[in-house]
Amino acid sequence: MRARYEPSGESMETVATPKTSSKTRVDRRVNPRYRFSVPITIRCGEYPAAQGMTIEISETGLSAITAAPLKINDMVSLQSIAGGPVSALVRHNVGRIFGFEFLPLKTEQVKKIREICASLSRYPSNHLGI
């Protein structure tokens, strides 16, 4: 809602204005996302290990906040996910929030991630814009 002032009139009129976005996003994700907040360690090439905090997880990836100097398509190792290290690619970045896509997982890791997801609340689609 927006208040519109008419200088010639004595009152203000409230007018409903639709919220539109010039950036309509389509959710391309194959799997639903779930709220997941745990500390992780991110290792990438010759850079020192960096700390991060996950935001959400799905069967195919997760997002996390970190100050690590990561770039799109960097291959990383995420520690403390699914009972051990998980290899992933950096796929998205908005500020300090990064989206990671898991590389092929071991059967035990897939099972563990599915168990984690089944115990969590759904995360709103495109909430983070990544």
Report domain extents, the chain: 30-130
Instruction: Please give the CATH architecture assigned to the domain spanning 30-130.
Output: Beta Barrel (2.40)
- The backbone torsions φ and ψ at residue 48, rounded to the nearest 5 degrees and listed phi first, read -65, 155
Query: pTM for the full model?
Result: 0.73
What mean pLDDT do residues 26-36 have? 75
The pLDDT-based confidence of 81 (bands split at 50, 70, 90) is confident
**Amino acid making up residue 101:** E
Q: Do 27 and 125 touch, CB atoms closer than 8 A?
A: yes
Residues paired with residue 100 on neighbouring β-strands, in sequence order: 62, 90
